[in-house]
Amino acid sequence: MTALFRILLLIVYNLLLPVFLLVSLPGYLVKMKRRGGMGTGLLERFGIYRIPAADEPKGGIYVHAVSVGEVFIALKFIREWNKTHSTPVVLATSTATGHAVARQAGIPNVRVLYSPLDLPLLSGRCLKRFAPRAVVLIEAELWPNFAEACHRRRIPIAMLNARLSPRSESRYAAVLPVARILFSRLAALGAQNDTDAHRFSRIGVNPFTIHVTGSIKFDVLGDAPTAPRDEFSMLLDYLRKGRPVVLAASTHAGEERLIANAAREAGAFPLIVPRHAERRDEVVRDLTEAGFRPILRTAGELPDKVSDAACYVADTTGELRDWTALADVVVIGKSFLASGGQNPVEAIAARIPVITGPDMTNFADLVRLLESHGGICRCMEPQLALNISHLLVRSTGTNRQVENAYNALRVHSGATARSVQLVDSLIAAQE
């Protein structure tokens, strides 16, 4: 009965998916062009490869990551994997920014490609080309046809750094039979914490495949903070005119102006890193209307004379960690005028005090952990300038918040190594 239900689900899925792709393809191509994806091998999504199949790396592992954040997690996993393995690694992503970050990492023995669309023939074609011994999915993206293609070829699938929000759990629970069918193809799942493990088990994931490995993203103790880049440090020293630096990290619409105003009120220099670099024109307009003189990183030149109203906009991708290392306070975007929040871990790893807005839904478990240890400051818009001022004093309380936050993440120490061991065990079981 289960096999019949699986077949029916795949039939319905494969009837609906082409319609969805046809409708969404124009918008997807426009987005790829805007983000520099055209001409970077995008046809790989359609099973068309530039490299002859005979020249492709085979017999290694296939790592699938989608967003830039997931690619960073994948790169961290791959670096740990390469410490004890010499087999090739395929890193597949579906976004132009993720693809660019993966290529720029320059890790030896890693083939970066665009993941195939989840159409029946394309998944099999990709797996035949690379013949991986195991597939690693970063976080919770599992495509039905790709999973079936792995199953037919007896390639084990591990989902790493897996998390499941209450909202996602509710959605899966509403279609529980479908969720059970989909997740049954997993050979192992590395959950970030006990809460995520229980949530996955409640939506039908086999409890014997679930392992609490911790969060690779939050595994900061084994990942030394980035040393400040001299060119960035010199640039900021020139612009800030002795003022402390407040970094507005991964901001969304309207937050650049909000955080820059608060930084100015606190006597600090605003450094803005928007979540989407292509919003630069909107960001410049908003900041200019607020009385600032924004300087874009992509402009490449600095003014001969720096105005007191100057602020810097790092409208690039993949440099947030470098800018974070130079901040005195980090304010997390998407938490004031958008919902969900962004990841504060890079700032915590660099031992920089963190302020967030009221909405950190996407990182609820992490924020609860940090708050329970007194390791993070959350506030509403009107209190932002005051909280920035307090943290810039560099008082004992500020140092305590920084250390509390860092210590709270010790529970995730070693998560990357445990994830490598989990994939190793799957491969060993196949031998």
The dihedral formed by the CA atoms of 104, 422, 131 and 181, expressed in degrees to the nearest 10 = -110
* CA dist., res. 412 & res. 10, Å (int): 37
Determine contact, residues 420/84, Cβ cutoff 8 Å: yes
Give me the helices (H) in 111-189, please: 120-130, 144-152, 166-174, 176-183
From residue 395, how far is each of 185, 331, 401 by CA, in Å? 52, 18, 10
**Contact assessment for residue 138 and residue 161, using Cβ atoms and an 8 Å cutoff:** yes
Q: Considering just the CA atoms, what is the radius of gyration of the chain in Å?
A: 23
Q: Give the amino acid at 155.
A: I
| Residue type (1 letter), 8 | L
Which is nearest to 76 in space by CA: 160, 158, 162?
160
Active site residues: 70
Q: Which amino acid is at 98?
A: G
**To the nearest 5 percent, what fractions of the chain are helix, strand and coil?**
50, 15, 35
SS3 17: helix
Q: State the residue for tokens 């987005």.
A: 31
Distance CA 66, CA 190 (A): 18
Q: Structure tokens of 63? A: 């790592």
Helix (H, G, I), strand (E, B) or coil at 373: coil
Residue 279 DSSP class: G
Distance of CA 80 to the CA centre of its chain: 18
Specify whether the CB–CB gap between 326 and 245 falls below 8 A: yes
Taking residue 50's Cβ as centre, other Cβ atoms within 10 Å add up to: 8
